[in-house]
Each structure stands twice: as structure tokens, then as C-alpha cells.
Amino acid sequence: MELSRIVDRLDEELGTADYADLDASANGLQVGPDEGEIERVAVAVDGVRETFERAIEADADLLVVHHGLSWGGFDRVTGRTYDRIAPLIENDLALYVSHLPLDGHQELGNAAGVADLLGLEDRSPFGELGPEYVGQRGRAADPSAPDEVRERLEAGLDTGGQPVQHLDFGPDRIEDVAIVTGSGTDWLDDAVAADADALVTGEGKGKAYHEAQEAGIHVFLAGHYATETFGVRSLQELVGEWGLETTFLDVPTGL
């Protein structure tokens, strides 16, 4: 399949253009020719030297990632930036990136994947960012004890062997859950305003402890990487349905 066709289909499915003025990431095709034939696609959370090398070993023509190379552009392609980009150019490996569009997608996105893991129902977009959303919220059919939610997250996420951190300040039973993966504690006040019992995210900021304590809400910090494998796995399944060979490159950080 032509690279340009894959890029167009991904951009359309993910609503890439809707996040153009909201996301520091240069979403879409970051590295690659205007045209090229793609047979094998690798997916990974992070666009880094290790995933580039593993994609090359897998004989991939395209690597699709959540965290790309460009966050506002490059001043110079030298040093570590050059070292990262060089394998892509030297091996004709194209790089496609979807950051916030993949966070906010209500079916394929990272938050949707966490909601699936927790068995949430009655879902709706959560985590406003301008006119768009970067997360999801839902309601558990059977409210669970906080420890049960933490255990479910630890069992279902690739945390790199690290425990899920839990700020245990909410009610005895958790029913309404807000999710913003990655670094999502900036939406803690939004979760409180929405009467959520818990906020599930990847990593936190120091102030989140006291904010959660004062608001009486649970916060689960399940790891930035761990909460953001769902989106690229969904894209792997999607492009597989388009007749392309695919592989998932799992490089957990434990963070």
C-alpha cells in the first residue's frame, strides 16, 4: 500500500487536523518520503533509537508511534537528534506519529483501552483541551473496592514490574472513573467537578497528593508507558485489517 494512502487514512481516522493547534507534537508523518510502498508496519509507544533499531530488524517500512521526535520543530539536526533520525533515513523507515489524537480517540485511544480494562460502561469524552478531549470517563457496572481497581490495573498493564501508585483519598467503593493517560493529573479538578470517584492516569505531579486529599478522590498512577500502549495496539489491529503485516515493539520503561 502507498505510504501516502496509509497516512491519509490514519489522519482521517484519528482526526489529526483537529489537534493541529492544540498539540506540541507534530502529528502525522514526521519522517518519510512523499511516496513509497509499505508492506510491513511496526508500532511502538516511543519513537526512540531502540524502537527504530527494532523496527529495522523486523524489516518494517513504517513505524507508528505515540511519542515522536518533533515537539515544536528542530533548531539543528545534530548530536542525539541526528543519532535518532539517522537510522530512519539510512534504512528508508518512515515514521508516523499520533500523540493527543490517539489519547482522545473514543474507540481506538489510550483512555478507551484503560476503560476497556476496567470494564467501564456509559462512557463519554473527558479531559477537555480547547474544543477537543484527551481522555474518557465511565461507570463500573459493579462498584469495586479501591484495592480491586489497583489490582486490576497491575494485572492488565505492562508496568515494567513497578507497582501502581494509589493516592487513597476517595470513597470506599469506586463507580465513576475518569481517565487521562500519560501525565494527566492536570485534569484532577475536572474529575472532581464531574463527581468522579477516581482519576486514572500514568504519572503525577507533587501537588496532586494534597489536591486529591483535599478533594476526597482516588488517584491511580499506573505508569506513563503502561497506560499508553493501548492506542498503538489498536492502530496495529487497524492497519492489519488493511492487509499489512504488523508487529508491536514492546519497550516498557517502568515509568
Identity of residue 19: Y
Asked whether residue 166 is marked as a ligand-binding residue, the answer is no
Among the listed residues 84, 60, 57, 65, the one whose alpha carbon sits nearest the alpha carbon of residue 26: 65
Please answer whether residues 204 and 185 qualify as being in contact, where contact means their C-beta atoms are separated by less than 8 angstroms: yes
At what angle are helices 3-14 and 230-241 packed, to 10 degrees?
A: 130
Angle ∠(67,197,150) on CA atoms, nearest 5: 60
34 pLDDT exceeds 80? Answer: no
Core vs surface per residue 42-61: b (16+ CB within 10 A) or e: bbbbbbbeebbebbbeeebb
Identity of residue 190: D
Check residue 73 and give its pLDDT.
82
Matching residue, cell 478533594 = 215
Please answer whether residues 243 and 237 qualify as being in contact, where contact means their C-beta atoms are separated by less than 8 angstroms: no
Mean pLDDT of the residues in the chain: 96
Check residue 75 and give its pLDDT.
80
Q: What is the pLDDT of residues 43-100, one digit of tens each?
A: 999 999 999 999 999 999 999 999 999 998 888 889 988 999 999 999 999 999 999 9
Between CA 19 and CA 42 the distance in angstroms is: 24
Domains along the sequence of the chain with CATH: 3-98+228-248 (3.40.1390.30), 103-227 (3.40.1390.30)
Identity of residue 80: R
Helix, strand, coil shares, percent, the chain, to 5: 35, 30, 35
Asked whether residue 228 is marked as a ligand-binding residue, the answer is yes
Matching residue, cell 480547547 = 130
Please answer whether residues 49 and 88 qualify as being in contact, where contact means their C-beta atoms are separated by less than 8 angstroms: no
Q: How far is CA 169 from CA 160, 181, 210, in A?
A: 26, 20, 10
User: What's the pTM?
Assistant: 0.96
Identity of residue 58: A
Percent with pLDDT over 90 in the chain: 93
Matching residue, cell 535518532 = 84
Asked whether residue 99 is marked as a ligand-binding residue, the answer is no
The model's confidence at residue 188, banded by pLDDT at 50, 70 and 90, is very high
Among the listed residues 102, 103, 242, the one whose alpha carbon sits nearest the alpha carbon of residue 179: 103
221 pLDDT exceeds 80? Answer: yes
Check residue 72 and give its pLDDT.
86
Instruction: Provide mean pLDDT across the span 233-246.
Output: 98
Residue 249, Cβ density class (10 Å: 0-12 exposed, 13-18 middle, ≥19 buried): buried
Which of the 8 DSSP states describes residue 166?
E
